[in-house]
Amino acid sequence: MIAKELISKTIDSLRTSDTGEETITMMSIYHVKHLPIVNNEQLLGLISEEEILGKDMKEAIGSYRLSMIKPYVQKNDHLFEVMKIMAQYKLSVIPVVDEDNIYLGLITQEDLISYFAVSFSFAEAGSIIVIETDKINYSLSEISRIVEGEGATILASFLTRMSDSTKVQITIKTNQMSVGRIVATLERFDYHIHGAFTEDDYENILKDRYDSLMSYLNV
């Protein structure tokens, strides 16, 4: 997946003539805290909610003294590059430009989470198991063998490095709703089970894994 395939079809950019009040309204409608300012298809930069609050809301944003940070991604940049830059600047949206630096649109954090959910099989029926082990003992092939030995299949996996620790967490998504036997077998192989979750818990687990990935890409 590349940046141009994730561009939002609903959120417009700002003009320097838009007022602070209009900008805050747009951010509220779209549930974002940043929006790009564009002039004649050229990206001028991003304005944040924080920069507007406290100023004269009836004035045009072009009259404000702004930091005008200019993070962006190229249209053919990979999904992970998009996530890395959003994490680096702590953005709710990221502008996308072409090879001539013409503004094409933006990608929202919600767009990324939605794609992350589908591409990593979180939408498939099943269950999630979070395993904790020492880094030196980590072996996905062994975990797969244990899970498959219980008649299940791993649909997706995600590794989280735990800060200030010698341990890692491995989040796996299996195609079985019942996890009792899998958990018991993993524990017999000295794996610590940090948590086991069924379909009702997917949304919170997905957000946690997404946040972990964004933090890792920002390291």
pLDDT for 164 equals 73
pLDDT for 137 equals 87
In the chain, residues under CATH classification 3.10.580.10 are 3-115
Q: Which CATH class is domain 3-115?
A: alpha beta
Q: Which CATH superfamily is domain 120-217 in?
A: ACT domain (3.30.70.260)
pLDDT for 200 equals 55
Angle between helices 79-89 and 202-217 (to 10 degrees): 80
pLDDT for 216 equals 57
| DSSP per-residue codes, 1-56 | -BGGGG--SSPPPB-TTSBHHHHHHHHHHHT-SEEEEEETTEEEEEEEHHHHTTS-
User: Could you tell me how many residues make up the chain?
Assistant: 219
Q: How far apart are CA 184 and CA 173, in angstroms?
A: 16
pLDDT for 84 equals 87
Per-residue pLDDT of the chain in tens (219 residues, 90 and over written 9):
789 999 998 999 999 999 999 999 999 999 999 999 999 999 999 999 999 988 899 999 999 888 878 899 999 999 888 988 998 899 999 999 999 989 999 999 888 887 776 666 566 778 889 999 998 889 999 999 999 999 999 988 888 887 778 889 998 889 988 889 999 999 999 999 998 887 655 555 556 666 666 665 554
Structure tokens at 207: 């957000």
pLDDT for 38 equals 95
pLDDT for 217 equals 59
Q: How far apart are CA 207 and CA 188, in angstroms?
A: 30
In the chain, residues under CATH classification 3.30.70.260 are 120-217
Angle between helices 202-217 and 109-119 (to 10 degrees): 110
Largest CA distance in the chain: 66
